[in-house]
Amino acid sequence: MRFIVLLLFIINLGYADKLRNVVRGDSPSTHQQTQVINSNGVRIVVRYPNHVYAGGKFTIYASMTNNIDDARMGGLTLSFPQYSSMDANILSKRFDKLNGYLPPSKLYSRVYNRNTPIDYYVIEGWENRWDYRATKHMKLQFIAPHTISHIDINVRGVIIFGKGRHKEEIAVPLRSSIYDQQGYPVRQITIDVLK
């Protein structure tokens, strides 16, 4: 008898969640935004929800494609200027490394030609050998905060090509009115947090 009651309780919880999502208008396949950044032979695509509910889980997918034939390495960075830390679950990745950095960590900036201390949370996917036309991605899951009305996320990439004295770095996007804590131009996306 206890097993049946427990089973009905679990089924009811699942039904209640589905009903709650219908009432709120939530659906995994709706309310999605896509931002595309094409610059200097590099393409970044970010998919994220238009809005999330405070305390609810949400997913961000970010990919970067290298269309520069002599690129050697590069990275895709998401940073969260409102937070010094966030919990992120990695759902999938295709980078050599995918790391989160908390203040007061230091990250290298070619803009400043030195390691610079960071003030807010950063997630960076890094590829040591980025082949021509290869796409690397990260798919991350977060829990929406209760304390703010929106989440700002800075998106940028970098590709390094050439060798020795001829080594160069291409920042993507090339220009922006918004710069991150490492001095790079970024595209900022915003996700509304509903109560």
pLDDT at res. 38: 95
Number of Cβ within a 10 Å radius of residue 89: 11
Number of Cβ within a 10 Å radius of residue 182: 22
Cβ-based neighbours of 153, under 8 Å, separated by 6 or more: 48, 60, 78, 79, 80, 188, 189, 190, 191
What residues are paired with 48 via a beta bridge? 33
Asked whether residue 19 falls in the same domain as residue 90, the answer is no
Asked whether residue 70 falls in the same domain as residue 151, the answer is yes
Which residue is it, tokens 């009903």? Answer: 19
Residue 20: phi, psi to the nearest 5?
Answer: -60, -40
Q: What tokens does 86 get? A: 């966030």
Asked whether residue 11 falls in the same domain as residue 75, the answer is no
- Asked if 48 and 153 touch (Cβ cutoff 8 Å), the reply is yes
- Asked if 89 and 139 touch (Cβ cutoff 8 Å), the reply is no
4-26 residue pLDDT tens = 544 444 444 444 444 444 444 44
Q: What is the CATH number of the domain that holds 111?
A: 2.60.40.10
- Counted domains in the chain: 2
Q: Maximum distance among all alpha carbons in the chain?
A: 76
Asked whether residue 82 falls in the same domain as residue 126, the answer is yes
Asked whether residue 22 falls in the same domain as residue 101, the answer is no
Asked whether residue 122 falls in the same domain as residue 142, the answer is yes
Asked whether residue 54 falls in the same domain as residue 149, the answer is yes
CA dist 117 and 108 (Å) reads 9
Q: Name which of 7-16, 102-111, 181-190 the model is least confident about.
A: 7-16
Asked whether residue 19 falls in the same domain as residue 112, the answer is no
pLDDT at 141 over 60: yes
Q: Name which of 16-25, 35-44, 134-143 the model is least confident about.
A: 16-25
Length of the chain measured in residues = 195
In the Cβ-directed half-sphere of 66, how many Cα atoms lie within 13 Å?
Answer: 28
Rounded to whole angstroms, what are the CA distances from 168 to 30, 163, 164?
Answer: 40, 8, 9
pLDDT at res. 14: 47
Which of 43, 62, 22, 36 shows the shortest CA–CA distance to 142? 62
Asked whether residue 67 falls in the same domain as residue 2, the answer is no
pLDDT at 29 over 50: no
Asked whether residue 54 falls in the same domain as residue 9, the answer is no
Asked whether residue 15 falls in the same domain as residue 55, the answer is no
Which domain, by its residues, includes 11? Answer: 1-27
SS3 state at 163: coil
Asked whether residue 56 falls in the same domain as residue 129, the answer is yes
Residue 15: phi, psi to the nearest 5?
Answer: -65, -40
**First and final C-alpha spacing in the chain:** 38
